[in-house]
Amino acid sequence: MSSPKLKVAIVGLGRMGSRHALHFHHLTPRAELVAVCSPNPSELAWATESLQGIRTYLDYDHMLREETDLQAVVVSSSTTVHAEHAIKAIQLGLHVLCEKPLSTSIETSQSVLIAYHHSLEKHPNQKVLCGFSRRFDPSYRDAYQKLQLGLIGRPSVFRSQTCDKLDPTGFSIEYAQSSGGIFVDYSIHDIDLALWFFGENSVLKSVSAVGISAISPEIERYNDRDNALGIVEFYGGKIAQLFCSRMTAAGQEDTTEITGTRGKLAINTQPQTNLLQIHDSTGIRREVAPHYYARFRDAFIAEANEFTTCCLDNTKMPFPLESAVKALEIALALQESMLTGKKIDFDQNGHRVASGDRLTAKL
């Protein structure tokens, strides 16, 4: 007798949604992808051709009504409707894996958290996870385990970057209209990592940021930049430096360093797709992953499988949903600092300090 499988549906079949669909359909043995939803007929046509046996829907509410045996929903729709789609599934008692961020608004993200807490009263085994894929990457996990063993002492300085290869199609520029900005869209992964390595209970002290439009000045009409640097300070002597870019030439360059009181951990500081080196007339070189998915494909697959296991076996989620809200708060503050040129301070409870109170807070 075969073991029961988690019945999963996907909402949103864009770049990330189609990948989630393939992962759950082909690479997650304990899950069964039963349905997908997209308002785009061409995406549904792709699903019919690529995902044998699944049902397709143009309307999300219709799918939720029709799929009476559904147990989980993966939300990979447009960022602007992440929260709406997540909350509807949560209120039905379904497990939810939601792509980052939960929203581009703190209040809306908190509404997801509130809906989940209310739902737990009726569905105590319900699982809701925000998809921070790097937490499932083997290299980052190895670094975290070594940190937990005390290998580098107390982590004090965190330096991380998310740098995409330049997209000549202009997609990344147009996406900036709804992404929440480069810190929300890119650096939120690095912010989440900082919270992971420093501790989820780290209290924010200040943020400051600067940005430039080095190659795509048109992005400024969306209050965004194509390159930015941010500094995040936490109480207790911890600081994070973040770099994000939309214009790398070689490929995806996502690297992280954690410096502690007795050493340093460095992840992917010399990006490469594999261990191959090419020796030719131009010299010696190695190839770099062309985009984010190529670098973190295995992490996304691990995420799908571990989410499924948590739902079926009622085990603890890898990290709390509250962390996703905290990461967004930091990302939005960085975005604001970049646009206004002003440093933003927080008190020892992590609450934002009004500009007139900053001197008192520092004293």
Provide the pLDDT confidence category of residue 175 given band limits of 50, 70 and 90.
confident
Mean pLDDT (whole number) for 325-352: 97
Average pLDDT across the chain, whole number: 95
Provide the pLDDT confidence category of residue 96 given band limits of 50, 70 and 90.
very high
Provide the pLDDT confidence category of residue 357 given band limits of 50, 70 and 90.
low
pLDDT value at residue 173: 86
pLDDT digits (tens, 9 = 90+) for 199-250: 999 999 999 999 999 999 999 999 999 999 999 999 999 999 999 999 999 9
Provide the pLDDT confidence category of residue 359 given band limits of 50, 70 and 90.
very low
Q: Does pLDDT of 362 surpass 70? A: no
DSSP 297: H
Mention every residue, 6+ apart, whose C-beta is less than 8 A from residue 190. Answer: 160, 161, 162, 240, 242, 244, 256
d(CA 240, CA 348): 17
Length of the chain: 363
Q: Does pLDDT of 358 surpass 60? A: no
d(CA 196, CA 193): 5
Provide the pLDDT confidence category of residue 317 given band limits of 50, 70 and 90.
very high
pLDDT value at residue 171: 86
pLDDT value at residue 363: 36
pLDDT value at residue 1: 57
Name the residue with tokens 């400051």. Answer: 208
DSSP 346: B
The torsion of the CA quartet 98, 131, 317, 205, rounded to 10 degrees, works out to -110
Q: Does pLDDT of 329 surpass 80? A: yes
CB of 338 within 8 A of CB of 225? yes
The C-alpha R_g of the chain, in whole angstroms, comes to 21
CB of 306 within 8 A of CB of 319? no
pLDDT value at residue 356: 58
Q: Measured at the alpha carbon of residue 78, what is the angle toward residues 21 and 8, in degrees to the nearest 5?
A: 30
pLDDT digits (tens, 9 = 90+) for 237-272: 999 999 999 999 999 999 999 999 999 999 999 999
Mean pLDDT (whole number) for 320-335: 97
Closest CA to 128 of 118, 116, 139: 116
Tell whether pTM > 0.85: yes
- What percent of the chain has pLDDT above 70? 97
